[in-house]
Amino acid sequence: MIRYFITEKRELKELSEFREKSWVYVVSPDSSDIEVLSKFGIDEDFVWDALDPEERARFEQDEDIIYVIAKVPYYDEKDPEVPYKTLPIGVAITPTAFVTICLNDNEIFKDFFQNKIKDFSTKKRNRFLLRIFEVAVIYYLRYLKEIRKRSNDIEKELHRSTRNKELVAMLNLEKSLVYFTTSLRSNELMFEKLKMASILTLYEDDEDLFEDIIIDNRQAIEMAKIYSDILSGMMDAFASVISNNLNVVMKVLTIVTLVLQIPMLTASMWGMNIKLPLSGNDYAFAITMGISAVAAVIFGFTLFKIKWFK
């Protein structure tokens, strides 16, 4: 699918056909879309690289076209177990167009469509590229906070859980953090090389923006690393907690079984077909059961006093 956009009067508007200096937005292109992209001089191999989930962040220049691949975060609603993932987006800056290529729609570009991103223009293509980097880092930080919140919720459940469900959920969050850390480090290397290569014409404000992006990206790396370490430690600790919770349950069940053994023993003894005390008494059943109940209560109270219930 190919769509065309251009900024007019500081608002992004969709076009019915391509116009020079516009934004060519490509999602999951088919063969006909790739043929259209070839008319802009875009290499087909670059298109396939931008669609490869395992592709690393990088950039290159081929004559008058600049190719950039960055790793961005996205929320996968189709996978509730591991929803936080990353995917590459390809950006090709040609003399006539600004082209973005990605496998799926994501929140980053939706912010541009909804005019939430200020101070950008499809005609100022280098600034546009930096704005994409900036929004991607913002979403990394936002999703990292959501992951931290989820881990806190799971931690509360783990305090009283005897199941592995919560541990599996934490393991899935750790997978997301691994995806984020790997992608953020790949982006960091690409940002540093792109800044040193000087293939982008940046004004002073653009250079300050690029520096802020690099700093925020490093912050996201540190956050992802810290959260990953915390999750790893929590998983080890709560694996022991789950085992301990199970032991407590077994202990309570054992105590209940011991207390109930007294009435069961009494019933067994007085159920024998031999002459027993109170066998001729009309209240023999009530007396024997009352004695056994009192004995069970005393036994239970004794266990409580010696802290067997704790």
- Residues 38 and 91 both lie in one domain: yes
- Residues 193 and 296 both lie in one domain: no
pLDDT of residue 88: 92
Coil, strand or helix: which one is 26?
Answer: strand
Are 194 and 68 spatial neighbours (Cβ–Cβ below 8 Å)?
A: yes
Please report which confidence band the pLDDT of residue 61 belongs to, taking 50, 70 and 90 as the band edges: confident
Residue 310 in domain:
no
- Residues 43 and 155 both lie in one domain: yes
| Bigger pLDDT: 161 vs 91 | 91
Given 197, 220, 244, the domain boundary residue is 244
Average pLDDT score over residue span 90-110: 89
pLDDT of residue 214: 92
- Residues 272 and 240 both lie in one domain: no
- Residues 139 and 276 both lie in one domain: no
Q: Which helix H or strand E contains 144, and what residues bound it?
A: helix 125-158
For residue 50, give both structure tokens: 């931008």
pLDDT of residue 160: 62
For residue 164, give both structure tokens: 């592995």
Q: Please say if the pLDDT value at position 309 is more than 60.
A: no
Domain extent at residue 192: 2-244
Residue 281 in domain:
yes
Given 244, 267, 287, the domain boundary residue is 244
- Residues 95 and 172 both lie in one domain: yes
Q: Which helix H or strand E contains 108, and what residues bound it?
A: helix 107-113
